[in-house]
């Protein structure tokens, strides 16, 4: 490898930036002179990646949000393709974010630059035709769920396990129900990382918190912000409600004390499940986006823990079911179940076994290293 060697890593979501940061840290140790350009956020920046655009701040879901963010993504595209043409990186590493990264895979392929796609589009859930295109454009496809392998070209795909299993240590202790009752109940609220989903979450949970405040003096709510921008939004929205707003860095500490979690559907639901915390999975989309999604999506389950175990271990409150009344009723049911912590612990073990395949980040780094060392 010469001193001018470079690669490009492209992420969109906060979770993708976090995984990218882990990968960059390992690459920097093995290849100290390597230049890592990136689309991402603070995790990659702290790992000495050169962030050319902070894409974690413009992640969206939904038709209207996507349209509003289009001008910014167009600027990202111009900046990224100019860099690829100028720098000719040894490999382009794509992490999730299929709306943008699939286009980038095709562009890189047309430029003769190898492509590694880590966490490919969830074609098992929707748009299976993407698997055919990606199998053509990507040199290697690294999946996080074992069942994804069958959708892509066998000579290109490898299951590397889910990165959260490598990040979250196995849980081996829970406070008893009696201990929790003596200390008071802590409920963790996870409103998501995009502005639209956060606003939908907060509009419902504000009413839930108010109603529980009147009838349960020992109940305490911890609201986790996914980023500093989301933290500012939460501070404006919650007002004087009895809730603590905590940064994302305190998520696992908060979960270790929690009796229950109310989680916006997404990657974080797997984190909660692996920590062995009972949870309610919620989500609300605009009507147009919801009907469009239901038309495309091929699975009845929404929450990742439920999809992994192929049954509804976590109650799902989606669209009209995501209401203050339904959330409160479901919370009460779970908090009054004396066996719920034992069940959640057993589910966490089962999920870990299904998603484990060694150290995911080491496997991904080894694959990237092959392309760094080849030329």
pLDDT in tens, 244-277: 999 999 999 999 889 999 999 989 999 999 999 9
18 Cβ contact list (under 8 Å, min separation 6): 43
Categorize the per-residue pLDDT at 175 as very low, low, confident or very high, splitting at 50, 70 and 90.
Answer: low
Contact 11, 43 (CB under 8 A): no
Higher model confidence: residue 346 or residue 71?
346
- pLDDT tens per residue, range 96-116: 988 899 999 999 999 999 999
Burial of 218 (0-12, 13-18, 19+ CB in 10 A): exposed
Q: What is the CATH number of domain 177-355?
A: 3.40.50.2000
**pLDDT the model gives residue 126:** 62
Residue 119, both tokens: 């966490």
- Written as one string, the DSSP assignment of 250-270 is GHHHHHHH-SEEEEESSTHHH
**pLDDT the model gives residue 375:** 56
Residue 290 has pLDDT above 60, yes or no: no
Calpha distance 344→354 (Å, rounded): 15
Write out the E strands in the chain.
6-10, 35-39, 50-53, 92-95, 115-118, 140-143, 157-159, 186-190, 220-225, 243-247, 260-264, 279-283, 316-318
Categorize the per-residue pLDDT at 169 as very low, low, confident or very high, splitting at 50, 70 and 90.
Answer: confident
The percentage of residues in the chain with a pLDDT greater than 90, rounded to a whole number, is: 65
**pLDDT the model gives residue 284:** 79
Residue 122: which of 271, 242, 302 has the closest Cα? 302
Q: Residue by residue, what is the 3-state secondary structure of 60-88?
A: CCCHHHHHHHHHHHHHHHHHHHHHHHHHC
**Rg of the Cα atoms in the chain:** 21
- pLDDT tens per residue, range 39-93: 999 999 999 999 999 987 666 554 445 555 668 888 999 999 999 999 999 999 9
Domain ranges of the chain: 6-161+357-374, 177-355
Calpha distance 275→349 (Å, rounded): 10
Calpha distance 320→294 (Å, rounded): 14
Calpha distance 121→225 (Å, rounded): 26
Mean pLDDT over 147-152 rounds to 90
Q: What is the mean pLDDT of the chain?
A: 87
Contact 134, 105 (CB under 8 A): yes
Residue 104: which of 127, 133, 129 has the closest Cα? 133
For the ranges 178-182, 239-243, 347-351, 370-374, which has the lowest average pLDDT?
178-182
- Written as one string, the DSSP assignment of 172-202 is -----HHHHHHH--EEEEE--SSHHHHHHHH
Write out the E strands in 219-315.
220-225, 243-247, 260-264, 279-283
Calpha distance 31→33 (Å, rounded): 6
Mean pLDDT over 355-369 rounds to 96
Calpha distance 130→151 (Å, rounded): 10
Residue 129 has pLDDT above 50, yes or no: yes
Q: Assign domain 6-161+357-374 to a CATH class.
A: alpha beta
Query: CA-CA-CA-CA torsion for 45, 50, 52, 58, nearest 10 degrees?
Result: -20
Q: In what order do the strands lie in the sheet with 260-264?
A: 243-247, 220-225, 186-190, 260-264, 279-283, 316-318
What is the chain's percent helix, strand, coil content, to nearest 5? Answer: 55, 15, 30
Residue 284: which of 98, 70, 61 has the closest Cα? 61
Contact 134, 158 (CB under 8 A): no
* DSSP SS3 for 309: helix
Residue 292 has pLDDT above 70, yes or no: no
**pLDDT the model gives residue 82:** 97
Residue 291 CA, chain-centre distance (Å), reads 23
Contact 159, 148 (CB under 8 A): yes
Residue 189, both tokens: 């609220």
**Residues constituting the chain:** 375
- pLDDT tens per residue, range 212-234: 887 776 789 999 998 888 898 99
Supply the pTM of this predicted model.
0.89
Fold agreement (6-161+357-374, 177-355): yes
């Amino acid at each position: 490898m010469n001193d001018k060697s470079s690669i490009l890593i492209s992420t969109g979501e906060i979770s993708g930036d976090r995984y990218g940061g882990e990968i960059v840290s390992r690459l920097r140790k093995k290849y100290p002179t390597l230049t890592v350009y990136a689309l991402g956020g603070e995790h990659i920046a702290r790992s000495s990646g050169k962030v050319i655009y902070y894409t974690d701040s413009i992640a969206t879901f939904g038709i209207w949000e996507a349209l509003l963010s289009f001008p910014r993504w167009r600027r990202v595209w111009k900046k990224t393709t100019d860099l690829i043409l100028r720098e000719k990186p040894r490999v382009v590493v794509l992490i999730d974010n299929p709306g943008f990264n699939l286009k980038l895979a095709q562009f890189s392929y047309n430029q003769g630059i190898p492509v590694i796609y880590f966490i490919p589009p969830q074609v098992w859930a929707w748009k299976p035709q993407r698997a055919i295109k990606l199998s053509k454009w990507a040199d290697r496809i690294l999946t996080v769920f074992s069942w994804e392998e069958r959708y892509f070209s066998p000579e290109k795909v490898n299951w590397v396990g889910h990165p959260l299993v490598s990040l979250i240590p196995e849980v081996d202790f829970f406070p008893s129900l009696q201990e929790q009752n003596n200390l008071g109940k802590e409920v963790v609220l996870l409103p998501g990382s995009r502005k639209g989903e956060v606003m939908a979450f907060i509009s419902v949970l504000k009413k839930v918190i108010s109603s529980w405040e009147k009838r349960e003096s020992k109940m305490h709510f911890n609201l986790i912000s996914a980023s500093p921008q989301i933290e500012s939004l939460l501070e404006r929205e919650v007002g004087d409600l009895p809730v603590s707003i905590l940064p994302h860095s305190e998520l696992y500490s908060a979960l270790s004390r929690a009796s229950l979690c109310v989680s916006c559907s997404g990657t974080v639901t797997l984190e909660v499940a692996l920590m062995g915390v009972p949870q309610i999975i919620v989500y609300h989309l605009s009507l147009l986006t919801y009907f469009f999604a239901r038309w495309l999506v091929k699975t009845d389950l929404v929450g990742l823990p439920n999809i992994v175990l192929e049954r509804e271990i976590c109650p799902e409150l989606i669209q009209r079911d995501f209401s203050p009344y339904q959330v409160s009723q479901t919370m009460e049911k779970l908090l009054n179940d004396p066996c719920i912590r034992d069940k959640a612990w057993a589910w966490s073990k089962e999920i870990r076994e299904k998603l484990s395949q060694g150290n995911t980040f080491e496997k991904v780094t080894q694959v990237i290293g092959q392309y760094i060392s080849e030329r």
